[in-house]
Amino acid sequence: MNGRAVRLGGVAAGILKGVDLDVAPGGFLAIIGPSGAGKSTLLKVIAGLMPHEGGIECGGAGFERLPPHKRNIGYVPQDLCLFPHRTIAGNLRLALRRSRFSRAQWPGRIAAQLDMLRISHLAERLPTCVSGGERQRVALARALVGEPSLMLLDEPFSSLDPETAERLRGELRAIHDRLGLTTLMVTHNMEEAFELGDRVLRMEDGRLCPAVRPRCATLHRESVPGPDMPDPARGRSTLQEETTMIILSDAELDALVAQDVPCGDLTTDILAIGAMPARMTFTAREEMVLCGSEEAARMIERAGGRVISFAASGTRTAPGTVFLEAEGSAAALHRTWKVSMTLVEYASGIATRAGRLVAAARGANPDIGVACTRKNFPGTKTISVKAVTAGGASMHRLGLSETVLVFPNHMAFLSGPLEDWVSRAKAQVAEKKLMVESDDVDDAEALARAGVDVVQLDKMPVEAVAEVVARVNRLGLSTVVTATGGINVENAAAYAATGCALLVTSSCYFGRPADVKVVIVPKG
């Protein structure tokens, strides 16, 4: 076990703005991000190749005052920098000068390392006379041969064809696991990062932020004919296959965009920037449960943009998480920026509140159900249902057509004994549950005795709900008791503790939208 713990505190250099980082001994941290975000700079700073502010510790010892050659690291830069005037074995030999190995051990050590990377046959060749994949192996072997306590890999597979890269990735991970070598790898390839890293962070504008594994990763379009002809059908099918069944239709998405941009985007047009290639990122400014990212992605695609990656609805994001990246013309991105962002913000607000309420209720009673009412803002049912679901809650009633809930406003029209209309109603819809709402403990008990399936207690204090549950239990009835009216994240735990089966709430719909930052920049 060679690996040392690595800790960075407030490291600033060039584009880097106060990077904090902790890597456990033997950990494999992958850092993703667009080019120019500061990934390579970070590695250079750790390798001691760039002046910086802030502290770097490796194995508990400060790195700041150590020159690069005393840091005992294995650094593989993006362009490898194999020494052209030395043979491949000679390249490795140079790296052994400062290692713990004695000169007599060098030949054996070099042979073993070349063997580990399966390039023994190349030992006496010059680096210029081997293939790209072999050069990559040489660079890895040279970095490993001195038994470093930290590996720094800068885009180690970017110059390789996909097959070679995949094979080498597997080998690298195996070597890492065998040696227990602390490794930092930067890459722009998200798949690679999540395949190799046991932790993945994202670098954006010189800062590290959490990265989410995109459930609908990349929209593969390599096989699409024509360079600038996105295949919307193919992109969309990928999007829909892997996401939840609740989606807004294309017509609904088009209508939303049309409301915002009925006759063109005047600002983008008069500035004449529409044709410029651009890149757009959506970042969560706060902890939230994401919802509507699929819709946002599809809006962008329908406007002609190209979604690089996005995280699915239901993903819990930390502040600073980038959950959607898209490219395209400035016109396409500006056309859909606000409307897609707003949709995500409102939907994520609902999902986040639902998620919090579920967490609060389950804290008191792990088995309790949480359902949201149909008091969503009129006209937004589909996305509201999606948000409730994303937050981990369920829908109470989707509408009037398929569930039976008798309110006092219905009972005002009924006469005769309770048992009569209850049994008549149950016979009418034998396959459905009969729910009746009540705001009184005694009335609720009477309803339960009369055979109602579900008694919904409206705006009753916590003690009264507990009393109804106790009475139903004492009577040995199977009546389901649910609580509704005024239930919110503050009192959800108290209501859940009463023993009722379900909390019904509208509070998820009311509150501020989640906070999302969208940045559009020229690409290139």
Alpha carbon 102 to its chain centroid, in Å, reads: 48
- The residue assigned the tokens 């706060």 is 286
Scanning residues 99 to 138, which ones bind another protein (CB under 8 A)?
A: 99, 128
DSSP-assigned letter for residue 491: T
- Is 97 a binding residue for another protein by CB under 8 A? The answer is yes
- Is 144 a binding residue for another protein by CB under 8 A? The answer is no
- Is 79 a binding residue for another protein by CB under 8 A? The answer is yes
Cα–Cα distance measured from residue 91 to residue 86, given in angstroms and rounded to the nearest whole number: 6
Among 35, 62, 64, 94, binds another protein (CB under 8 A): 94
DSSP-assigned letter for residue 264: B
Nearest distance in Å: CB 70, another protein: 8
Among 3, 133, 146, 499, binds another protein (CB under 8 A): 146
Secondary structure (3-state) at 187? strand
Query: Six-digit token pair at 54?
Result: 């802030």
What is the full DSSP assignment across 320-376?
T-EEEEEEEEHHHHHHHHHHHHHHHHHHHHHHHHHHHHHHHHHHH-TT-EEEE-S-S
- Is 81 a binding residue for another protein by CB under 8 A? The answer is yes
- Is 67 a binding residue for another protein by CB under 8 A? The answer is yes
Cα–Cα distance measured from residue 324 to residue 133, given in angstroms and rounded to the nearest whole number: 32
Nearest distance in Å: CB 110, another protein: 13
Nearest distance in Å: CB 229, another protein: 33
- Is 221 a binding residue for another protein by CB under 8 A? The answer is no
Among 63, 75, 323, 509, binds another protein (CB under 8 A): 75
Nearest distance in Å: CB 146, another protein: 6
| Nearest to another protein of 49, 271 (CB atom) | 49
Range in contact with another protein (rule: CB under 8 A) among 97-105, 162-170, 392-400, 460-468: 97-105
- Is 356 a binding residue for another protein by CB under 8 A? The answer is no
- Is 95 a binding residue for another protein by CB under 8 A? The answer is yes
Query: Six-digit token pair at 321?
Result: 């998480």
CB 351 within 8 A of CB 311: no
Scanning residues 29 to 58, which ones bind another protein (CB under 8 A)?
A: 44, 47-49
Range in contact with another protein (rule: CB under 8 A) among 14-22, 89-97, 210-218, 509-517: 89-97
Cα–Cα distance measured from residue 51 to residue 46, given in angstroms and rounded to the nearest whole number: 10
Nearest distance in Å: CB 83, another protein: 6
CB 452 within 8 A of CB 479: yes
Cα–Cα distance measured from residue 381 to residue 401, given in angstroms and rounded to the nearest whole number: 15
Within 10 angstroms of residue 524's Cβ, the number of other Cβ atoms is 9
Nearest distance in Å: CB 201, another protein: 22
Cα–Cα distance measured from residue 187 to residue 170, given in angstroms and rounded to the nearest whole number: 16
Q: What are phi and psi of 403, to 5 degrees?
A: -125, 155
Among 38, 74, 206, 328, binds another protein (CB under 8 A): 74
Among 69, 221, 432, 517, binds another protein (CB under 8 A): 69
Cα–Cα distance measured from residue 107 to residue 89, given in angstroms and rounded to the nearest whole number: 9
| Nearest to another protein of 77, 355 (CB atom) | 77
CB 293 within 8 A of CB 386: no
Cα–Cα distance measured from residue 67 to residue 62, given in angstroms and rounded to the nearest whole number: 11
Among 8, 37, 58, 73, binds another protein (CB under 8 A): 73
Among 39, 52, 71, 471, binds another protein (CB under 8 A): 71
- Is 386 a binding residue for another protein by CB under 8 A? The answer is no
Cα–Cα distance measured from residue 274 to residue 160, given in angstroms and rounded to the nearest whole number: 35
> Residue 476: left if φ>0, alpha if ψ -120 to 50, beta else—which one?
left
Among 10, 98, 232, 237, binds another protein (CB under 8 A): 98
Range in contact with another protein (rule: CB under 8 A) among 141-149, 253-261, 400-408, 489-497: 141-149
| Nearest to another protein of 68, 486 (CB atom) | 68
Cα–Cα distance measured from residue 405 to residue 219, given in angstroms and rounded to the nearest whole number: 45
How many residues bind to another protein according to rule CB under 8 A? 29
List residues binding another protein (CB under 8 A): 44, 47-49, 67-75, 77, 79, 81, 83-85, 94-95, 97-99, 128, 142-143, 146, 152
